[in-house]
Structure 1
Amino acid sequence: MTTDPASGDQAARHDAQQAHSQPSQPEPPQRGRAQGTGSAGPAPDAAGQKNPYVDFTGYRVRMPASWPTSVRAALPSFRGGIGSIVRTAHMPMDARIGYWVWLIGCVLAIIGWVFSIAAILLGILFNPIILVGTGMMSLFGDIRWGVILFYVATMMLSLVVLLLQLTLSLKIREGAEWARAGLTALTVLSIVYSIILTAAGLESGGGGTVAVSVISLALLAFFWMPQANAWFLRTTDNGAGRIDAAGAPM
């Protein structure tokens, strides 16, 4: 059968007019692009993030960014040997001075604690007058067990505090920001405790003990100097606790 070419052209023109008259359907938007974001989801709002620092005209302080997660992580590292505790070339001068003051002070205080215990024991064995002077025995020879128990508890607490201060001082050499905060808090609590005992008349050292505690608090200022403070922040952000073979923070 023969097809008329004119009728075929007319049908083609009719189909083209219908296709032109129908509105084009828009392409469905891809998920994520309709909101102006990529396929990974909305971008984080940097302005909404909380600033961990408190800025005083360029001097920045913050709560410690990390804390030890185990007892092993809280203890000083002696990877470079016991002699590594005297290697302080990696520390700024302010922190170095504070470290040596606290290290020597803690060692001397522990030695003094041992001599105090030895003096009490010798007094019990050979010279009861020492016991009378400390209030553990009356002039009539009566043993005051309450005073003895309180003295023993106080001495044990003092030893625990001294050992904690020594441990925190050694961790400060590693640039641990949390150790600096812990040493500061522990010293403040020790001052408050000494003031309470002195006010209650239970502290034999009296004002001298409080004065020593206040001096200890003043010596903490070395760790909060601008250069030392920047070193603590930088060391913590770079990963405090990683020690090289020489015993210095990496």
Structure 2
Amino acid sequence: MSNSPSAPRSGFARMFLVTGLPTELKVSFWIWFVGGILGLLGGMLGMLASLVLFAAAPGAATLVLLLMLLAAAVGAAQIVLALAMKDGKRWARLGLTALTGATLVLAVANAMMGVGQGGNWATFVISLAATVLLWLPNSQAFFAAARSGNTSSE
């Protein structure tokens, strides 16, 4: 399929190309990529919504705006890391693993403070599943082959 003349080799369409990846990495990629898109959009919408809060509580609005900016930045980083992971970059796999650790810290902090509605636990469990997929034997073999240049991720 990747040898087809109609297969995208560069540009925007290549971002969605997952041929050549083990099934584990395909699933992990889509979890990270879609999660990143949702995080980026949620952060951007939250930033817009926080602007309304400035009229009533400027101090709280500033904090909410900063948190939403952070959420958007994490979502964007997640997208970049997922795309690099798909290309066999080991540093991207480590970055995504670190993001899973961060979601665990946030889930524990929210539980200890008694805030939130448990969404951080769901995020952690989904991130954990995507991270486990990154470290399974087929995934390990893909990253090893990518490092030695013996893979075609197209």
Provide TM-score, normalisation by structure 1.
0.51
Partner of 1:72: none
CA contact (8 A) 1:198 1:206 kept: no
Gaps of 5+ in 2: 1-8
Which of 149, 155, 162 in structure 1 is aligned with 2:62?
Answer: 149
SS in 2 for 1:152: helix
Provide TM-score, normalisation by structure 2.
0.78
Partner of 1:162: 75
Going from structure 1 to structure 2, the CA distance change for 1:114 and 1:156 (only over 3 Å counts) comes to closer
1:99 aligns with 2:29: yes
Q: Distance between the aligned counterparts of 1:173 and 1:93, measured in 2?
A: 12
Partner of 1:109: 39
SS in 2 for 1:83: helix
- Spell out, residue by residue over 1:47-80, the C-alpha distance to the aligned partner (whole angstroms, 9 max, x if none): xxxxxxxxxxxxxxxxxxxxxxxxxxxxxxxx71
Q: Distance between the aligned counterparts of 1:211 and 1:92, measured in 2?
A: 25
Partner of 1:61: none
Partner of 1:184: 97
Matches within 5 A, 1:53-72: none
Q: Distance between the aligned counterparts of 2:82 and 2:19, measured in 1?
A: 16
Moved over 6 A (4+): none
Going from structure 1 to structure 2, the CA distance change for 1:119 and 1:150 (only over 3 Å counts) comes to closer
Going from structure 1 to structure 2, the CA distance change for 1:239 and 1:161 (only over 3 Å counts) comes to farther
Partner of 1:82: 12
Which of 173, 177, 202 in structure 1 is aligned with 2:86?
Answer: 173
Q: Distance between the aligned counterparts of 1:146 and 1:198, measured in 2?
A: 24
Which of 221, 224, 228 in structure 1 is aligned with 2:139?
Answer: 228
Q: Distance between the aligned counterparts of 1:189 and 1:109, measured in 2?
A: 14
Q: Distance between the aligned counterparts of 1:153 and 1:194, measured in 2?
A: 19
User: How large is the Cα RMSD of the aligned pairs?
Assistant: 2.7
Going from structure 1 to structure 2, the CA distance change for 1:239 and 1:185 (only over 3 Å counts) comes to farther
* Higher relative helix content: 2
